Amino acid sequence: MKIYIFRFGHRLERDKRITTHCALVSRAFGACKMFYSGQEDPSFENSVKEVQEDWGGNFTIEYIPDWEKFFNINKDKYYIVHLTMYGTAFDDFAKNFNKTFKKGLQKQKKDLLIFVGSQKVPTAVYHFANANVCVTNQPHSEVCALGVLLNALVDYRTVKFSGAKIKVKPNLKGKTIVKN
């Protein structure tokens, strides 16, 4: 089962760093690809590519001009989890997902898609999502929500970053970078 992210409603300038952070978090926790809608932004895409050139991996980004069309065509390929502060608890969801849903998806050859809002998310999304999941019911950050959910679904230690030029050797008191 692969993990995809859909970043909805990206805005140039305002969301540049937040969307970049979402993409880097997705990559770090082993997602294979981020789709994004809203305004096309080669600058954010390049920031992520630059990180990947050094740190490795095969994470990709694709701009989707028409998000409704995308979901009309593709939604049955995915089990869609919409991250929203109005949803039900991510930890309960993750427990069920890891125990049972995951095997079901593997049998159906479906992948997981995590839908991350930016601008106001249309009501339709709450309905076509297979699950509306929150990380606390407080307003905070889609970057945090995405990271906390991914961490509950993925063992980050198993994620591979092929072609990395550099990697970190964990250090108690400083920085150690090892060249590959």
- Where on the chain is the footprint of a copy of itself (CB under 8 A)? 14, 17-18, 21-22, 24-25, 27-29, 51, 55, 84-89, 123, 126-127, 132, 134-141, 143-148, 151, 156-157, 159, 161, 167-168, 170-177
Residue from 54, 42, 36, 40 nearest 142 by CA:
36
Nearer to a copy of itself, 50 or 66 (CB): 50
Nearer to a copy of itself, 98 or 176 (CB): 176
Cβ atoms of residues 112 and 3 within 8 Å: yes
Task: Find the shortest distance in angstroms from Cβ 148 to a copy of itself.
Answer: 5
SS3 of 8, please? strand
Q: How far apart are CA 2 and CA 174, in angstroms?
A: 34
Q: How far apart are CA 76 and CA 63, in angstroms?
A: 20
Task: Find the shortest distance in angstroms from Cβ 150 to a copy of itself.
Answer: 9
Q: How far apart are CA 43 and CA 50, in angstroms?
A: 11
Task: Find the shortest distance in angstroms from Cβ 78 to a copy of itself.
Answer: 18
Nearer to a copy of itself, 77 or 140 (CB): 140
